């Protein structure tokens, strides 16, 4: 065993005479690292979880990528395109694409005897991925879309249910303003709650064939395709691949197509979510600085406490670098011990919150009913490596103090 490592072990365990503050100092330093790691892990896990949950809800209402008619119509009263199986197959063959589904939208007015509310009727078919709708369904069931005749079932939000005093099983009339006002009678078959009030008040889900009949479309006509992908981080890449296919497509009727990603249609929301990354980065930098200064203070106290020992070692011929390595070994031990316990406690809290949802939130303010947690192994590895390197680099400066101590003055130091 190297002498400097042996001496560092003795100092840590109290085997070197004259120990006064080493034990408490080491405990405080380790505690600072533990607390810092717990806060950093929670910051990353909660920040990532919040972004993921909000993003999934936005995508649930609008998918990752839209393929629609190439016109200047930005309203929900879309010009139709025809379903093309070859186009669908080409998009499905792209790497990263999870599903391609038809949709249609139409603005309308839900009216009861005492209340009314403007909404967007969103039509879906049997090919629609209903996993998101099932995850936010709180009462009843989803509208039937595979029956022989167009279904009159609709899915409304709990916000609309409260505003219009509608419950599962109630009939409701919806008015559509075209060349002439058209009225359709629907039955409320289910109620959902996404905790996003602006979207909850807007969307009503129904059979796509109802919109086709209202607009006088054929069975193969629709507003466009919604494309779901596996990895949101690749949305720009997959969006360009879809664009390359859609840009070269011309239907038999001469219809051109355009593509839009959810980031393009909802720039304010995703810009707001991107700001969370900056907040997390600021928190991590502050925590690393606080933990680093805590370590520096602890190491300086240990050096001052061992001034006599340093002087004797230098008088016996120990060079500056081995002397500095004694305290760098101590700092590394403190950092590693703090990182290990910080990870155990931080990950334990995250797993408990993930499994049991212990900490609740007010959905009216946070759009979620529990604190979201998302753990990413790569993020954790980078965080631990970065914290270890940052703390170690901050220890290099105090170690110079040990090397600059004069042997004569150190031996006489009391």
Q: Tell me which of 46 and 294 has the higher pLDDT.
A: 46
Please give the model's pTM, rounded to 2 decimal places. 0.82
In this prediction, residue 410 has a pLDDT band, given cuts at 50, 70 and 90, of low
pLDDT of residue 139: 96
Quick one: pLDDT at residue 229? Answer: 96
What pLDDT is recorded for position 412? 59
At 303, is the pLDDT very low, low, confident or very high (cuts 50, 70, 90)? confident
Residue 262 lies in a domain: no
**Total count of domains within the chain:** 2
pLDDT band at 371 (very low <50, low <70, confident <90, very high): very high
- On whether both 178 and 81 belong to a single domain, the answer is yes
Considering the domain architecture, whether residues 50 and 182 belong to the same structural domain is answered as no
Lowest mean pLDDT among 29-33, 162-166, 229-233: 29-33
Report pLDDT for 328: 78
> What integer pLDDT is reported at residue 335 of this predicted model?
82
The percent of residues above 70 in pLDDT, for the chain, comes to 92
Is it the case that residue 395 has pLDDT exceeding 80?
no
Tokens 């609309």 sit on residue: 160
What burial class does residue 119 get, using C-beta atoms within 10 Å of its C-beta: 0-12 exposed, 13-18 middle, 19+ buried?
Answer: buried
Question: Same structural domain for residues 212 and 277?
Answer: no
Q: What is the mean predicted confidence (pLDDT) over 27-38?
A: 85
- Burial of 186 per CB tally in 10 Å (0-12, 13-18, 19+): buried
Please check whether residue 80 lies inside any domain of the structure: yes
- Name the band, by pLDDT with cuts 50, 70 and 90, for residue 174: very high
Closest CA to 92 of 229, 224, 221, 223: 229
Q: Is the pLDDT of residue 68 over 60?
A: yes
Same domain, 240 and 93: yes
| Gap between the Cα atoms of 300 and 277, Å rounded | 34
215 belongs to a structural domain: yes
What is residue 408's predicted lDDT score, i.e. its pLDDT? Answer: 57
Farthest CA pair distance, the chain: 102
Q: 408 and 280 share a domain?
A: yes
- Asked whether residue 325 is domain-assigned, the answer is yes
Last residue of a domain, one of 220, 255, 290: 255
Q: Which of 189, 224, 255 is the last residue of a domain?
A: 255
Mapped onto helix, strand or coil, the DSSP state of residue 256 is strand
104 and 246 Cβ atoms separated by less than 8 Å: no
Q: Is residue 367 part of a domain?
A: yes
Angle at 123 between CA 270 and CA 188, to 5 degrees: 105
In a domain, 373, yes or no: yes
Do both 229 and 308 map to the same domain? no
Per the structure, the complete domain to which residue 121 belongs is given by 71-255
Average pLDDT of span 143-156: 92
Answer yes or no: is 63 within a domain: no
At residue 258, what are phi and psi to the nearest 5 degrees?
Answer: -135, 160
The answer to whether residue 236 sits within a structural domain is yes
Q: What size, in residues, is the chain? A: 414
Three-state DSSP at 330 gives: helix
Asked if pLDDT for residue 234 goes beyond 90, the answer is yes
Q: How far apart are CA 32 and CA 243, in angstroms?
A: 51
| 313 has a pLDDT exceeding 90 | no
Specify whether 46 is located in the same domain as 168: no
Burial-class residue 321 by CB neighbours within 10 Å (0-12, 13-18, 19+).
exposed
Tell me what the mean pLDDT of segment 311-333 comes to: 76
Residues 92 and 235 in one domain: yes
359 in the same domain as 250: no
Going by pLDDT thresholds of 50, 70 and 90, the confidence category of residue 151 is: very high
* Mean pLDDT, the chain, integer: 87
Same domain, yes or no: 223 and 344: no
For residues 142 and 276, membership in a common domain is answered with no
* 97 within 8 A of 229, measured Cβ to Cβ: yes
Question: Which pLDDT score, from 0 to 100, does residue 325 have?
Answer: 78
Residues 394 and 324 in one domain: yes
Q: Which of 210, 228, 255 is the last residue of a domain?
A: 255
> Does residue 278 or residue 229 have the better pLDDT?
229
Nearest residue to 324 via CA among 222, 236, 241, 405? 405
How confident is the model at residue 98, as a pLDDT?
A: 95
């Amino acid at each position: 065993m190297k002498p400097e490592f042996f001496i560092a072990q003795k100092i840590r365990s109290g085997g070197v005479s004259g120990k006064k503050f080493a034990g408490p100092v080491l405990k405080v330093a380790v505690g600072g690292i533990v607390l810092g790691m717990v806060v950093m892990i929670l910051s990353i896990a909660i920040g990532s979880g919040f972004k993921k949950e909000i993003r999934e809800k936005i995508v649930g209402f609008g998918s990752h990528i839209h393929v629609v008619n190439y016109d200047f119509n930005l309203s929900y009263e879309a010009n139709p395109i025809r379903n093309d199986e070859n186009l669908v197959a080409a998009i499905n063959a792209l790497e990263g694409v999870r599903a391609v589904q038809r949709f249609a939208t139409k603005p309308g007015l839900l009216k009861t005897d005492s209340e009314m509310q403007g909404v967007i009727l969103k039509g879906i078919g049997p090919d629609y991925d209903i996993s998101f709708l099932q995850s936010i369904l709180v009462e009843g069931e989803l509208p039937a879309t595979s029956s022989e005749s167009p279904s009159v079932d609709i899915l409304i939000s709990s916000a609309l249910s409260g505003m219009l005093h509608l419950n599962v099983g109630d009939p409701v009339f919806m008015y559509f303003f075209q060349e002439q006002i058209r009225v359709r009678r629907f039955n409320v078959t289910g109620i959902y709650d996404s905790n996003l009030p602006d979207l909850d008040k807007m969307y009503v889900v129904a059979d796509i064939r109802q919109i086709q009949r209202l607009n006088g479309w054929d069975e193969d006509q629709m507003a466009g395709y919604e494309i779901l992908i596996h990895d949101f981080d690749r949305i720009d890449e997959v969006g360009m691949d879809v664009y390359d296919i859609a840009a070269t497509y011309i239907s038999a009727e001469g219809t051109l197509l355009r593509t839009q990603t959810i980031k393009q249609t909802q720039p304010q929301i995703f810009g707001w979510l991107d700001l969370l990354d900056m907040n997390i980065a600021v928190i991590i930098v502050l925590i690393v600085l606080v933990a680093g200064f805590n370590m520096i203070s602890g190491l300086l106290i240990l050096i001052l406490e061992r001034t006599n020992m340093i002087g004797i070692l230098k008088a016996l011929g120990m060079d500056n670098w081995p002397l500095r390595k004694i305290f760098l070994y101590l700092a590394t031990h403190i950092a590693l011990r703090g990182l290990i316990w910080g990870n155990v406690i931080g990950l334990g809290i995250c797993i408990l919150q993930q499994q049991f949802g212990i900490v609740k939130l007010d959905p009216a303010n946070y759009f979620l009913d529990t604190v979201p947690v998302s753990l990413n192994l790569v993020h954790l590895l980078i965080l631990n490596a970065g914290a270890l390197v940052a703390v170690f680099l901050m220890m290099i400066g105090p170690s110079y103090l040990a090397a600059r101590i004069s042997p004569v003055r150190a031996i006489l130091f009391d």
